[in-house]
Every structure is written in structure tokens, then in C-alpha cells.
């Protein structure tokens, strides 16, 4: 686990310590932490550090220091790009949560329920780069919440245009993250690079495999992003223009029918329902709904007509689990279940 001491790294640790298929054998972080015990190097954000990991020595993020075959990365983006390439070149499977490689044409950007077929990019990636390892990525936390909610509608009715307004939790900025005087009782209407990520990654997620690459979906997305004083759970208000316009009850039915791609259905981290529809007038809410499906379900509500684009709704997902660590662990499970990665 690279970046094991950070906010997302800790979520990975929680998911991996009792994982049925994977064993967490090594933790690594910056030179500030290397050489210390994990519990000394980490400002643990929960109550107890799992005992299996507390006494582990923190290693440097160097393939010579880390021997595991599968390397999860929650590294800061200032270092993730190069570090992940070194591990892939050294024959490791790098399952990354960082932004650096997501938009490269030969790197899969995958939500297991939405586009598992994009893992086929790995063949071209390894051939082109001469790697015995590989890099697989999951998306930006808001993009994952958005795409998980709109993919069923895109598949059923086609999306032409989307206008998105996010209300993003402070945990999305890592630890210590947003200064308290900026966060408390306030809204910050800017998150660096976030709007661009939502607008670009969405098209890759919803795109189709063609030959050795992805043809981006023919959808236009416009995003406004805001940081709000919420601990966990990004909320997204979205208005959609559909190729085949439908009434809100038909959109609701398509979301209720959605079970996600068959390849994702029985993975240990997959929730029973990837999308949960709430009919109460005031849901979803991060405080009440961020834990749905163990933090892996995207909760959708307020599905109604939109006088401008046709349809609107609110989606919410746990940014650290569905939007980060859980998505990456699920991608690793997908690789094992489909025989691409060595079996446990």
C-alpha cells in the first residue's frame, strides 16, 4: 500500500486488513514516514489502528523496498506519476487512485459496474510500454459518484448534455486538508482541477472500446465544484438532456433496474445495489446515506423534470470509499475474477 499514511491510504488499510482475497503485507509512504512504525507515522483518523498493520515498518515508495505483486497507490499526485511507472516497469500490478495516469489512452480508467471491458487496454499498454506490470486507475471522487448515477441513464436513453453542481466533503482534500477557517460555516466555490476532471473523465468512463483504444462518449459535461463543511460524502446536483427524453418515473425505473455489469456483481467489495434510489423528498444526505452499501452504493433521489434540460436529480456517494479506496480494491478484484491478474 503506497501512500498508506494518508486519508485515502487509511481507507485502503481498513478495506485490505480483512480482505478475503488480498493480504496487506507492506505499507509505504514518504521519506518523512519511512523507517517508522505505521502507528507512529500515521495520524489515524478512526478510533483504533488495526493491529495487523500497527507495528508494520513504513517503507519507501521504491520497487526495491517493496516486494508485493499488487501495489495499491494513494500517493499524493506530486509523486504518484513517476513512482507508479517505476512499479509497473518492475513487474507490479499498480492499482492507482491518483490522477496522474487516468487520461492516458492506454491506461484503463474503470468503475467495475460501468466499464469493466476497458481493462482490455492493458494488453496494448504492456506491449507499447514494454512493462511486465501494469497501471489501472479509478476516477476522481466526484466523477465516480456522477458516472455511477448517470451510466444507467446513458445506457438506456443516451445522454447528450449534463450540467453538474457538486457539494464536496472536506475529506476529499486529504489530511489535514482544507484549513478549518476556510471550511467551517462556509462554502468554497473552487477546487483546483476538479471541474476539468469531471468534464474529461466522464467521457472516458462512458466511452466505448474500439480497437486498442477508447472512443469517448459523445456527451458534453459542464461542472461547478464547491467545497462544503461535510465530513464524508460528495453530493451532486445534475441536470441531463437525453437523446430519448423520458419522464422522471421512467428514469427512476431505469435506475432501479440497474445491477451494474455482470463482471462486477459478485466481487467482495461490490455492494448489493450499486445505485440506491431514495424517494423521500429530502434525500440523499451525506450524513444519512454515505454509509449505504458499506460506502460503495451511490444514492440517488429527487428525480424530477427539469425545465431547461429535461431531467434532474441528486446523487451522493462516499468520496473516500466509493470514490477512492473501495473503487480501487474493487478494480483489483475485477482483475483477479476475470483472470487478468494472478489468482489469490
Residues that bind ligand NAP (CB under 6 A): 3-9, 29-30, 32-33, 61, 74-77, 79-80, 97-99, 140-141, 171-172, 174-175, 319-320, 323-324
CB of 210 to ligand NAP, least distance (A): 28
- List the one residue out of 254, 236, 249, 241 whose CA is nearest residue 311: 241
Q: Smallest distance from the beta carbon of 278 to ligand NAP, in angstroms?
A: 22
- Choosing from 118, 141, 154, 318, which is the catalytic residue? 141
Cβ contact 169:231 at 8 Å: yes
Judged by CB, which is closer to ligand NAP: 74, or 314? 74
Give yes or no: 234 in active site. Answer: yes
Q: Which of residues 82 and 280 has its CB atom nearest to ligand NAP in the complex? A: 82
**Would you say 10 or 239 has its CB closer to ligand NAP?**
10
Nearer to ligand NAP, 66 or 276 (CB): 66
Could you give the CA distance from residue 192 to residue 198 in angstroms, rounded to a whole number?
A: 12
Shortest distance, CB of residue 38 to ligand NAP, whole angstroms? 10
* Dist. CA 17–CA 11, nearest whole Å: 10
- Long-range CB contacts for residues 131-134, cutoff 8 Å, separation at least 24: 131/88, 131/89, 131/91, 132/89, 132/91, 133/87, 133/88, 133/89, 133/90, 133/91, 133/92, 133/93, 133/94, 134/88, 134/93, 134/94
Of 101, 154, 234, 318, which is the active-site residue? 234
Residue ranges in 158-271 assigned as alpha helix (H): 180-183, 194-205, 248-257
CA–centroid distance for 58 within its chain:
25
Q: What is the dihedral of CA 194, 195, 200, 206, to 10 degrees?
A: 90
Which phi and psi angles does 157 have, rounded to 5°? -125, -10
Q: How far is the CB of 141 from ligand NAP (least distance, A)?
A: 4
Residue 121 CB, shortest distance to ligand NAP, in Å, is: 20
Catalytic residue ranges: 141, 234
Amino acid at each position: 500500500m503506497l501512500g498508506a499514511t494518508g486519508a485515502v491510504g487509511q481507507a485502503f488499510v481498513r478495506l485490505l486488513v480483512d480482505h478475503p482475497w488480498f493480504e496487506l503485507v507492506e505499507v509505504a509512504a514518504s521519506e518523512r514516514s519511512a523507517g517508522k512504525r505505521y502507528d507512529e507515522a500515521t495520524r489515524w483518523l478512526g478510533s483504533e489502528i488495526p493491529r495487523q498493520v500497527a507495528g508494520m515498518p513504513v517503507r519507501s515508495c521504491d520497487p526495491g523496498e517493496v516486494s508485493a505483486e499488487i501495489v495499491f497507490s494513494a500517493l499524493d499526485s506530486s509523486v504518484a506519476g513517476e513512482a507508479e511507472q517505476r512499479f509497473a516497469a518492475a513487474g507490479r500490478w499498480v492499482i492507482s487512485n491518483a490522477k496522474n495516469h487516468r487520461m492516458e489512452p492506454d491506461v484503463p480508467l474503470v468503475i467495475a459496474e460501468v466499464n469493466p471491458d476497458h481493462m482490455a487496454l492493458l494488453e496494448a499498454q504492456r506491449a507499447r510500454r514494454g512493462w511486465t506490470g501494469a497501471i489501472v486507475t479509478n476516477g476522481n471522487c466526484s466523477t465516480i459518484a456522477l458516472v455511477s448515477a448517470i451510466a444507467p441513464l446513458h445506457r438506456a436513453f443516451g445522454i447528450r448534455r449534463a450540467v453538474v453542481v457538486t457539494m464536496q466533503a472536506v475529506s476529499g482534500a486529504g489530511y489535514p486538508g482544507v484549513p478549518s477557517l476556510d471550511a467551517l460555516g462556509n462554502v468554497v466555490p473552487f477546487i483546483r482541477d476538479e471541474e476539468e476532471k469531471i468534464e474529461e473523465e466522464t467521457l472516458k468512463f462512458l466511452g466505448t472500446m474500439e480497437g486498442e483504444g477508447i472512443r469517448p462518449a459523445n456527451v458534453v459535461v459542464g461542472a461547478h465544484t464547491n467545497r462544503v463543511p461535510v465530513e464524508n460524502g460528495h453530493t451532486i446536483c445534475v441536470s441531463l438532456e437525453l437523446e430519448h427524453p423520458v419522464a422522471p418515473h421512467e428514469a427512476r425505473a431505469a435506475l432501479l433496474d440497474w445491477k451494474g455489469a455482470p463482471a462486477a456483481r459478485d466481487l467482495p467489495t461490490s455492494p448489493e445495489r450499486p445505485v440506491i434510489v431514495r424517494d423521500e423528498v429530502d434525500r440523499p444526505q451525506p450524513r444519512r446515506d454515505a454509509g449505504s452499501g458499506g460506502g460503495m452504493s451511490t444514492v440517488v433521489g429527487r428525480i424530477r423534470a427539469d425545465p431547461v434540460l429535461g431531467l434532474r436529480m441528486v446523487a451522493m456517494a462516499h468520496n473516500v470509499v466509493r470514490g477512492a479506496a473501495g473503487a480501487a480494491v474493487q478494480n483489483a478484484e475485477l482483475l483477479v475474477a476475470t483472470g487478468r491478474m494472478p489468482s489469490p
